[in-house]
Amino acid sequence: MLLRQRQLLNKVHALIDATLFGAVFWMAHFIRSLPQLDPDAVIGGFQKYQWLLLVVVPLTPPLLELQGFYHRAGLASRRQSLAQILRGSAWVSLAIIVAMFFTKQEVARGVVSLFLPMIVSAMVFKEELMRLWIRSRMAGQEARRRVILIGGDREMNRLDEALKQNARGEISVAARLDPGQFSVSVLTDLLHSHAANAVLVAPKQFLFGQIEKIIQVCELEGVEVWLHADFFQTRVSQTTVDELAGHPVLVFRTGPDQTWQSMAKGAIDFLGSLALLVATSPLFLMAALAVWLSSPGPVLFRQRRAGLNGHPFTMLKFRTMVTNAEQLKHELAKLNEMSGPVFKVTNDPRVTPIGRFLRKWSVDELPQLWNVFRGEMSLVGPRPLPVDEVARFDDMAHRRRLSVKPGLTCLWQVSGRNNVTDFKEWVRLDLHYIDNWSIWLDLKILLLTIPAVFSGAGAK
Q: How many CA atoms lie within 13 A of 297 on its CB side?
A: 16
Helices (H), 295-386: 325-328, 353-360, 368-373
Do the beta carbons of residue 70 and residue 127 sit within 8 Å? no
Do the beta carbons of residue 433 and residue 456 sit within 8 Å? no
Residue whose C-alpha is closest to residue 228's, from 249, 211, 252, 214? 249
Q: Is 0.75 surpassed by the pTM of this model?
A: no
Q: What's CA 86's distance to the chain center, in Å?
A: 30
Q: Give per-residue pLDDT as tens, 322-344.
A: 887 777 777 777 777 777 777 77
DSSP H or E stretch at residue 335: none
* Integer Cα distance of 165 and 285 in angstroms: 48
* Integer Cα distance of 149 and 175 in angstroms: 6
Q: Give per-residue pLDDT as tens, 210-219.
A: 888 899 999 9
Which region among 18-27, 29-38, 187-196 has the lowest average model confidence (pLDDT)?
Answer: 29-38
What does 266-288 look like in DSSP terms, one character per residue?
HHHHHHHHHHHHHHTHHHHHHHH
Q: Give per-residue pLDDT as tens, 294-331.
A: 888 899 999 999 999 999 999 999 999 988 777 777 77
Domains annotated on the chain, with CATH: 3-136 (no CATH), 145-252 (3.40.50.10700), 260-455 (no CATH)
pLDDT score of 33 more than 90: no
**Chain mean pLDDT for the chain:** 82
Contacts 24+ apart (CB under 8 A), 343-349: 343/389, 344/418, 344/421, 344/460, 345/460, 346/460, 347/460, 348/321, 348/460
